[in-house]
Amino acid sequence: MSPSPVWHPFTQHALEPAMKRVAKTEGSYLYDEDGNRILDAISSWWVITHGHRHPAIMAAIREATEVYDQVIFAEFTHEPAEALAEGLLAFAPPGLQHVFYSDSGSTAVEVAIKMALGTFHNRGIARDRVVVMEHAYHGDTIGTMSAGERGVFNAPFEPLLFGVDRLPFPEAGREQETLDAFERFCRAERTAAILIEPLVLGAGGMKFYASGVLASLKEIAGRYGVLFIADEVMTGWGRTGTRFACEQAGVSPDILCTSKGLTGGALPLAATLCTPDIFEAHLSSDRRKTFFHSSSYTANPIACAAAVANLKIWRDEPVNERIDALAAQHSAHLKRFENDPRFTGVRQCGTIAALDLVVPAGGYLAEAGPHLRRLFRERGLLVRPLGNVIYLMPPYCTTAADLAAAHDAIDEVASLALAKVGL
């Protein structure tokens, strides 16, 4: 068989073997072309919430295809988009009243940045700085790379990236340094918005911080008239234990970004929710104040129908109970690693469990990472460590037995990987 022409994401093809084809997905599993069943322990990059091919979502997609394909959203609207917007606003923190659709987490955040800067521009106020957090990751467009941590992900594109103001990560016991730094930026009166991953920095290494920090950042932003953008692309839809992570801090953002689990993971779709003030800053008889952003597939009706079905699952099924059960099981399994010298930073937030393998050189390019990933796959698990950071983020339908097997695999694989790198 000739080599595939497909160029895969985050893949160094000079080092990776040929990709196995997935023949089927179901529940918590992927089935490859050789008939192997693989536990999707990271929800296929954090998107699958209720499980692969949830019957209600698949039925909604099939039904939508009987009447829709794509509808231009600059000229028309349609029932799936209207129903989803109404449902989203009912699910979201209070105060958000408008929904702007896009295609992915990156574009949802890009939209949020443009909304924030456009708000002050349209009002003739000279605020053009965005504050972000150290180690953040917000996506791979130019705008979201600019807002993310600078490093291996975006080094070739440095000339294209705009400057932002960075807060130190609020390490336990040093939270006040983060808050003080934010207040200093706000006092300069140039800050338009703070863009934050609430409670958990995902691709930056599954770094967790206290909900009180989130609440304090929102309070400071409010005092200085700075817009608060919550990037809930990963943390939304139950991953941290509540529907949105902001709920745990009692925070209502000015702008909220959601994607990934919005459709239960079945189809790509994103939404950026905002307050009336932001919408009204772009509402004018002057056409130059229009919010100039779109994509060809904005509010695709079939994807919106899948998302409407996802909202119904949250209303009708015991989703919160499943999340609570997963969280409790993680907590019980993680105890075995707490005093294990192979690991540091054993931690959990809702359905996310993470721990750092102790190696001489950590970070995303840690040598242990590829070894860990291969060893997990040999044991029938899809786990993609972030360098030396091992984490689990399974679908909510994952059984107790499968979750126990995943934690057992961490125990076994860690020792094998350490032996491979000579420790």
Domain C-terminal end among 259, 289, 316 = 316
Same domain flag for 68 and 185: yes
* Structural domain contains residue 45: no
pTM greater than the 0.95 cutoff: yes
- Residue 52 DSSP SS3: strand
Same domain flag for 344 and 284: no
| Model pLDDT, residue 420 | 78
Question: Among positive and negative, which fits the CA dihedral 359, 361, 367, 370?
Answer: positive
Determine how many CB atoms are found less than 10 A away from the CB of residue 102.
Answer: 25
Same domain flag for 159 and 102: yes
Contacts of 331 (CB under 8 A, 6+ apart): 348
* Structural domain contains residue 205: yes
pLDDT averaged per 10 residues in sequence order, the chain, 423 residues: 90 93 98 97 98 98 98 97 98 98 98 98 98 97 96 92 98 98 97 98 97 98 98 98 98 98 98 98 97 96 98 98 98 97 98 96 85 96 97 98 98 92 64
Order of strands across the sheet with 389-392? Answer: 343-349, 352-357, 389-392
Contacts of 31 (CB under 8 A, 6+ apart): 22, 23, 24, 25, 37, 38
| Model pLDDT, residue 423 | 59
Same domain flag for 286 and 344: no
Q: Residue 350 is part of which domain span?
A: 318-420
Domain C-terminal end among 251, 282, 316 = 316
- Residue 60 DSSP SS3: helix
| Model pLDDT, residue 17 | 92
| Model pLDDT, residue 152 | 85
- Residue 349 DSSP SS3: strand
Same domain flag for 339 and 291: no
**Rounded to whole angstroms, how far apart are CA atoms 235 and 117?**
24
Q: Which residue, among 178, 176, 160, 158, has the nearest Cα to 168 in the 3D structure? A: 178
- Residue 320 DSSP SS3: helix
Residues 138, 351 contacting (CB under 8 angstroms):
no
Same domain flag for 161 and 68: yes
Domain C-terminal end among 282, 316, 350 = 316
Determine how many CB atoms are found less than 10 A away from the CB of residue 361.
Answer: 11
Residues 252, 338 contacting (CB under 8 angstroms):
no
Same domain flag for 328 and 294: no
* CATH number of the domain encompassing residue 182: 3.40.640.10
**Rounded to whole angstroms, how far apart are CA atoms 114 and 133?**
18
Same domain flag for 114 and 247: yes
Q: What is the chain's Cα-based Rg?
A: 22
Same domain flag for 363 and 304: no
* CATH number of the domain encompassing residue 345: 3.90.1150.10
**Rounded to whole angstroms, how far apart are CA atoms 40 and 398?**
9
User: How many separate domains does the chain show?
Assistant: 2
